[in-house]
Structure 1
Amino acid sequence: MFTRSLRTISLNASAFQSSRVALRSSFRAYSKFPNNAKPESEKSNHSNGSNGSSNSNNGSGQKSSPFSKGYVLTALGLLVVGSTVASAVYTKQEPRSAPEPATPAFSDKDISVIFVLGGPGSGKGTQCAKLVKDKGFVHLSAGDLLRAEQVREGSSDGALIAKCIKEGTIVPQEVTVRLLRNAVSENVKKGNFKFLVDGFPRKMDQALTFEEQIVKSSFTLFFECPEQVMLNRLLERGKTSGRADDNIESIKKRFKTFVETSMPVVEYFDKQGKVVKLSCDEPVDVVYGRVKDALVKRGIN
């Protein structure tokens, strides 16, 4: 595809400047003559002593000067000519190719990616672990990848990740997407083609970038759970997990962030018919049974 060719007027600087100089000179010359100035030939025609009290073209008694009018016409002519020359030169911009859309690294016909979303403590990790065991999925937890990168020796993003985790905010998408892309690539080389991406995408830009750069998702598993239930689960987990974000202050920030940034992602995919909503305020095995049924309906055994 090509954009429409554009013609842009390019002023010829030297021509325009020359016109301005000529016009200025004409006005200077004109200003040296009085309004009734005449050329010598006209004066000689009236040297017979005519009283000059009247003029057939002017009843006021003041004689007009064709000589002065000539200067005005000359000045106007130079202005018109200069403008025409200045605007006549144009350059034609060559048509440019429209930017090519980003091509994902993998085709959704070759690999399958299921996003697993839900509030903190909704049980995403528990359900993913069961699917890994029974269905041979590779479980990619965005949180686990970020925590591993945080403590990796020589990591340039470790301090930033630690700060985001502590404050309950979202790590910049370029960091998370890079870690996920590397993890997917490494597993594809090993012959693994089914992925559960847990806790990602958490923002719209993450969702769009992942599908543009890595692969389009098959669908999203969304675990719905009351906030109080999630809070109780996280506080209980915090007693043994050792995670810096399993404290009441960080948990509340994470809840707020999820509602404000992650729910729009769920709604975005839901409009495409790519969301399976599951209540997780029930025993783990009951929820897992519903998860397996959802996969079968989507053609994933």
Structure 2
Amino acid sequence: MMEAKLLIQETTVVVFVLGGPGSGKGTQCPKIVEHFGFTHLCAGDLLQAEIESESENGTMIHNFKKEGKIVPSEITVKLLQQAMQQSDNNRFIIDGFPRNEENRAAFENIVKIKPEFVLFFDCPEEELTRRILNRNQGRVDDNIETIGKRLKVYFESTLPVINYYNSKGKVQKIDAQRSVNEVFEDVKSVFAKFKPVVRVDSTK
């Protein structure tokens, strides 16, 4: 691999997308991709893909998850870095990351990029619980007890990251309690400086 390929361009733009489970990140990210030409990276999806590839790294990630342990930040960050290096785009939204302070520090140390801003979908706990219960009837991880645990992790681990970036003036807070279209109108205002892209269909 050429050395140049290992470097992420200085013009690269990264936006972290954060919010509790059920806050609408998964609905809004594809709209940002379509409208503003960003590439959508999801740390969870990259970890899952690595597990399915059955690489040595994938086996290690699988074992961490099986034991209920958090995958070390360095592994997650390097997967994100690799995905960015392999993309021909230089605009990225990273969904559901950083989940904690360790993730945040590892990303800045390894990738050497600070986010342009953090898109924060703000939604109260009761509304998040209601949405998760409604959206996936019958899913194992969507019972009240498990939802409570997921929300606890979010409030204890991810909110400090949002507060950190807020202290740096980098958080764009969106009221996520409204309809999908109303929320996206606010999102569009936040991304207004990135001109909407006209994409040419490059069918391979």
TM-score normalized by the length of structure 2: 0.83
Residue 121 of structure 1: SS of its match in structure 2? coil
Identify the match of residue 177 of structure 2 among 281, 293, 297: 281
Give the length in aligned residue pairs. 186
Identify the match of residue 156 of structure 2 among 254, 260, 275: 260
Residue 15 of structure 2: SS of its match in structure 1? strand
Tell me the amino acid that sits aligned with residue 105 of structure 2.
L
Larger radius of gyration: 1
Identify the match of residue 129 of structure 1 among 9, 30, 34: 30
Contact 1:114 1:218 in 2 (8 A): yes
Partner of 2:42: 141
Tell me the amino acid that sits aligned with residue 300 of structure 1.
F
Identify the match of residue 176 of structure 1 among 76, 80, 84: 76
Residue 195 of structure 1: SS of its match in structure 2? strand
Partner of 2:200: none
1:160 aligns with 2:70: no
Unaligned runs of 5+ residues in structure 1 are 1-103
| Aligned-pair CA distance for 1:105 | 4.5
User: Alpha carbon RMSD of aligned pairs, Å?
Assistant: 2.0
Partner of 1:83: none
Residue 174 and residue 159 in structure 1: after superposition, are their counterparts in 2 closer, same or farther (change >3 A)?
Answer: same
| Aligned-pair CA distance for 1:142 | 1.4
Residue 78 of structure 2: SS of its match in structure 1? helix
Partner of 1:236: 134
Unaligned runs of 5+ residues in structure 2 are 1-5, 196-204
| Aligned-pair CA distance for 1:239 | 2.9
Q: Aligned equivalents of 1:204 and 1:239: distance in 2?
A: 32
TM-score normalized by the length of structure 1: 0.57
Q: Aligned equivalents of 1:158 and 1:293: distance in 2?
A: 40
Q: Aligned equivalents of 2:70 and 2:156: distance in 1?
A: 11
- Tell me the alpha carbon deviations over residues 181-204 of structure 1, each in whole angstroms, 9 at most, x when there is no partner: 1111111xxx21110000000111
| Aligned-pair CA distance for 1:209 | 1.4
Tell me the amino acid that sits aligned with residue 63 of structure 2.
A
Residue 201 and residue 105 in structure 1: after superposition, are their counterparts in 2 closer, same or farther (change >3 A)?
Answer: farther
Q: Aligned equivalents of 2:136 and 2:90: distance in 1?
A: 33
Q: Aligned equivalents of 1:207 and 1:284: distance in 2?
A: 28
Of the two structures, which has the highest relative contact order with CA contacts closer than 8 Å and spacing of 6 or more? 2
1:210 aligns with 2:107: yes
